Amino acid sequence: MPVFALNDSLAFPPPELARSDGLLAVGGDLSPERLLLAYRLGIFPWYAPGEPLLWWAPDPRLVLFPAELRISRRLARTIRQGRFRVCCDRNFAQVIHLCGETRSRTGTWLDPPLIEAFCRLHALGYAHSVECYLGEELIGGLYGLALDRIFFGESMFSLVPDSSKVALAALVVTLKAQGFAGIDCQVRTEHLLSLGAREISGRDFRQLLQEKIQAVGPAGLW
């Protein structure tokens, strides 16, 4: 399959036309309108430093369904101990910067333009963070986008063992209470598989999006 070159028009090729590695298109911009359209279609940006803006729609897709979250005995014990304090949307900018810093050891895709783009989405009410604090120190967390009844998980970081897992567990509790259908985890990782995520076909994922993303405005979580 070819890689499509985007222009100034607000449009994407059908995600089912992505290459076998998931790469669909190159170019375009990181405007809120384009990003929101991309996620509604099951497409996301991901590129390494020095690369052009690349858009992906992998098949299969890794999804965590809230009812299937797998909590180990150790994690359950950590949650019961109440060692960490969990907050939401208290410091989105710091969360996304720390996600970028912790990944920079192996090369990060969170460059300044992409960070700024997600901060704009946060200001518009679409992007959210879940934060884990030890005292007043931010030691773990995650961020992503909420569109109607789907949460698109983007990245997580952990400076203290289990802190990002505690944040994820807190997010799942909130999503279950509000009737969310799933968390998009994008691509397979052993870490997320151990937490209960599973792969579904790209076709099934797109059907899930069509069924669960009806509202056009931001999805309030907290």
* Whether residues 132 and 192 fall in one domain: yes
Sign of the dihedral through C-alpha 22, 27, 32, 37? negative
* Whether residues 102 and 9 fall in one domain: no
**Position 17 pLDDT exceeds 60:** yes
pLDDT at 106: 47
Is 219 among the domain residues? no
Q: Are 66 and 176 in contact (CB under 8 A)?
A: yes
**Position 218 pLDDT exceeds 80:** no
* Whether residues 88 and 41 fall in one domain: no
What are the CA-CA distances from residue 68 to residues 13, 143, 181, 217 (Å)?
A: 32, 20, 11, 27
pTM of the complete model: 0.95
Mean pLDDT of 125-149: 97
**Position 154 pLDDT exceeds 70:** yes
Is 94 among the domain residues? yes
* Whether residues 165 and 66 fall in one domain: yes
3-state DSSP percent of the chain in helix, strand and coil, to 5: 35, 25, 40
* Whether residues 37 and 129 fall in one domain: no
* Of the candidates 128, 121, 140, the residue with the CA atom closest to the CA atom of residue 180: 128
Is 107 among the domain residues? yes
Cα 132 to the chain's mean position, in Å?
17
Domain count, the chain: 2
**Position 168 pLDDT exceeds 80:** yes
Q: Give the integer Cα–Cα distance in Å for 145 and 175.
A: 12
* Whether residues 47 and 66 fall in one domain: no
Last residue of a domain, one of 58, 82, 104: 58
CATH of the domain at 37: 3.30.70.3550
Give the CA count within 13 Å in the CB-facing half-sphere of 55. 29
* Whether residues 169 and 67 fall in one domain: yes
* Whether residues 68 and 172 fall in one domain: yes
Is 164 among the domain residues? yes
CATH of the domain at 203: 3.40.630.70
Is 220 among the domain residues? no
* Whether residues 182 and 76 fall in one domain: yes
* Whether residues 24 and 72 fall in one domain: no
Q: Are 137 and 160 in contact (CB under 8 A)?
A: no
**Position 19 pLDDT exceeds 70:** yes
Structural domain including 16 reads 4-58
* Of the candidates 149, 42, 21, 156, the residue with the CA atom closest to the CA atom of residue 98: 156
* Whether residues 157 and 205 fall in one domain: yes
Residue 164 — φ and ψ, nearest 5°?
-70, -30
Is 178 among the domain residues? yes
Last residue of a domain, one of 13, 31, 58: 58
**Position 10 pLDDT exceeds 80:** yes
* Whether residues 38 and 66 fall in one domain: no
**Position 107 pLDDT exceeds 80:** no
